[in-house]
Amino acid sequence: MLPLVAETISSPSRYRSHEVTAARAGRGSAFILILAMNETTTDQIADQQTAARTTMDILEIMSLLPHRYPFLLIDRVVEMERKQRIVAIKNVTINEPHFQGHFPDYPIMPGVLMVEAIAQTGGALLLTEIPDRDQKLMVFTGIENARFRRPVLPGDQLRIEVTVQQWRSRAVKMLGNITVDGKLVCDATVMCQVVPRVVKKAAEAPAE
């Protein structure tokens, strides 16, 4: 018997895609078409695509993290391995508001913001695995062994590499290293947890 070669054709334009599997026998030209219903929903497909990403632009990052200016501290994800590691880029610019007071004559990026950038980078990795992430927040639960090796100045580009040390379904422990031009400027171990997001109820109109 000649071996069978299988090809799968899927139609992404429908909410429920149909997969057509064509089995072709050896050198023969005959095709056997098998029409199978695929029960995967569009939301499940979106979750699978999110989890399979290896890079992210700023819009994709904003779809995961709730942070916004001036507290969104990563600009791009350049490497990502599911539940293992992630590398993000942060471009430091003089127009960031903390430089107005830290310090007026010698602008230095605060160390706590570098640790926050580590946590946000790890959060981008963690939240790709949370299906109901729009209803969740990622919060700090601990910081260990934070070290600030060199000052970070406007014009620097941070390379933030985060490696998972422990992974649970709703919590992670991660080691973060930040480099500028290949030189280590900050490293810290952070612990984060996913918690329910509190939704504010609309204020009721006073009774007349």
Tell me the pLDDT tens digit for each residue of 152-164. Answer: 999 999 999 999 9
Mean pLDDT of 15-37: 42
Average the pLDDT over each of 28-32, 144-148, 177-181 and give the range with the smallest value: 28-32
At residue 173 the predicted structure's pLDDT band, cuts being 50, 70 and 90, is very high
Q: How confident is the model at residue 168, as a pLDDT?
A: 87
Q: How confident is the model at residue 110, as a pLDDT?
A: 98
> Which pTM does this prediction carry?
0.73
Higher pLDDT, 190 or 18: 190
Average the pLDDT over each of 17-21, 125-129, 195-199 and give the range with the smallest value: 17-21
Catalytic residue, chosen from 18, 67, 98, 102, is 102
Mean pLDDT of 1-9: 42
Q: How confident is the model at residue 190, as a pLDDT?
A: 97
102 is annotated as an active-site residue: yes
Statement: residue 86 has pLDDT above 90: yes
At residue 53 the predicted structure's pLDDT band, cuts being 50, 70 and 90, is confident
Q: How confident is the model at residue 199, as a pLDDT?
A: 72
Region of 145 on the Ramachandran plot (φ > 0 left; ψ -120 to 50 alpha; else beta)? left
Work out the mean pLDDT of the chain and round it to a whole number: 81
Average the pLDDT over each of 32-41, 136-145, 174-183 and give the range with the smallest value: 32-41
